[in-house]
Amino acid sequence: MSLTDLPNIEAESLDIPTAARLRPQTLSTHKPRILLLYGSLRDRSYSRFLTLEAERLLQHFGAETRVFDPHGLPLPDATASDHPKVRELRDLSLWSEGQVWTSPERHGSMSAVMKAQIDWIPLAVGAVRPTQGRTLAVMQVSGGSQSFNAVNQLRVLGRWMRMVTIPNQSSVAKAYQEFDEAGRMRASSYYDRVVDVMEELVKFTLLTRDVSNYLTDRYSERRDASHERARKLTAAL
């Protein structure tokens, strides 16, 4: 098929994907950088316990990790974005190459604490996109029976934030039974799933981090940028 069969396509902005473009000339050698967010402020927070278990596994798989503490983070739009906790969160998102989002399910949804963290991370700040192209794993804890409401919502948000959300996920039902007094997760099929998810996250991060810019490069944005350059050139004449 030629471009004459695609009359609405602007040829100069079109890219034909090839396998060669997905093979980076140089590979990063540093440890995969993973940011972990959790969605509860309780002293005995099962979403925090699950996050810390995930962090231990990620470190075992060779990742460098950071866990953001949501204590003190203001509600979105309640203050300016130069608030220290907001700056910390945004800087960590920029630092990361992959992320883990873990929320309790509350009233059939993710928690407000979880949503506030995501809402403070902008889709774009000028030409910088703090989440685009980064990998994402989603997990949830429930007080009752098995549910997937929170992880399903987190997936929607991950897609909206232009992240590469991995296929696997974890949902821990009756979480109060799955952690001991010290907050360590007991051996179970739930724990096995967390191992699966973190292993998969590291694999996807290693696979995509050096080509994330190419994976998220879009025809529509290249076309709009070309139009803007032409407009500025015309205005300068």
Q: Is residue 6 part of a domain?
A: no
Residue 113's pLDDT band (cuts 50, 70, 90)? very high
pLDDT above 70 covers a percentage of the chain that reads 96
Most confident of 141-145, 205-209, 224-228: 205-209
pLDDT tens-digit map of 22-73: 888 889 999 999 999 999 999 999 999 999 999 999 999 999 999 999 999 9
CA angle (45, 116, 209) in 5-degree steps: 90
Q: Which two tokens stand for residue 75?
A: 């509600």
Q: 15-24, 124-133, 157-166, 173-182: lowest mean pLDDT where? A: 124-133
Is residue 101 within 8 Å of residue 139, measured between CB atoms?
yes
Helices (H), the chain: 46-60, 84-95, 112-120, 149-160, 189-208, 212-215, 219-236
Q: Is residue 120 part of a domain?
A: yes
Cβ neighbours for 9, distance < 8 A, ≥ 6 positions apart: 3
Q: Is residue 5 part of a domain?
A: no
Q: Is residue 186 part of a domain?
A: yes
The H-or-E segment that residue 74 falls in is none
- Contacts by residues 86-92 (CB-CB < 8 Å, ≥ 24 positions apart): 86/120, 89/117, 89/120, 89/121, 90/120, 90/121, 90/122, 90/125, 90/130, 92/35, 92/66, 92/68
Angle between helices 84-95 and 112-120 (to 10 degrees): 70
Q: Is residue 146 part of a domain?
A: yes
Residue 132 is part of which domain span? 29-236
Angle between helices 189-208 and 46-60 (to 10 degrees): 50
Q: Is residue 51 part of a domain?
A: yes
> Among 233, 22, 23, 58, which Cα is nearest to 139's?
58
pTM: 0.90
Chain centroid to CA 222: 24
Over 70: is that where the pLDDT of 127 sits?
no
State the pairing for strand pair 98-106/109-110: antiparallel
Number of domains comprising the chain = 1
Is residue 50 within 8 Å of residue 175, measured between CB atoms?
yes
Q: Is residue 4 part of a domain?
A: no
- CATH code for the domain of 151: 3.40.50.360
Dihedral class, residue 23 (left if φ above 0, else alpha if ψ from -120 to 50, else beta): beta
What does the DSSP 8-state code read for residue 13?
Answer: G
Q: Is residue 151 part of a domain?
A: yes
pLDDT tens-digit map of 130-168: 899 999 999 999 998 888 999 999 999 999 999 999 999
